[in-house]
Amino acid sequence: MAFRTVLQLLGVFLFSNFALNSHVNAQEISFSGEWRGALTIGRDTTGFVFIITKKDGKYAATLSNTAIGIYGFPSDSVIVKDKNLTIRFKALDIEFTGTIQLDSANKPYRIIGDWFQDSELSPIVLERQED
């Protein structure tokens, strides 16, 4: 009798744990917002701002860097898959790829990624800016 009760409790625990994890995984992570990061290539460091938006289920992004005179340059594509993000700017020969990090409340706060431009790869960390 005790063994059967243990099995039933284990089954309830496993089912509830599966249901909870399915709910957390089913929640969509939002990349939308303002993201800032500093890019270092050689001795030079410059700051960049990505504004990522989502409309009708589709992401878009713009890139700004006041030091070099880029303001709201639109991306050609934004690809989101799970926690991964790829943003392409064909005219600038730039591709950013990154993985979002979540805080303890499952809110996105950082994207750790790579900046690929003119056949050079540089690491960059983007921090989400609060509204």
Q: What is the pLDDT of residues 18-66, one digit of tens each?
A: 444 434 444 677 889 999 999 988 888 999 999 999 999 999 999 999 8
Does residue 112 register a pLDDT over 90? yes
Which is higher by pLDDT, 71 or 18? 71
Q: What is the residue-averaged pLDDT of the chain?
A: 83
The pTM score is 0.76
Does residue 76 register a pLDDT over 80? yes
**Cβ neighbourhood burial of 9 (10 Å; 0-12, 13-18, 19+):** exposed
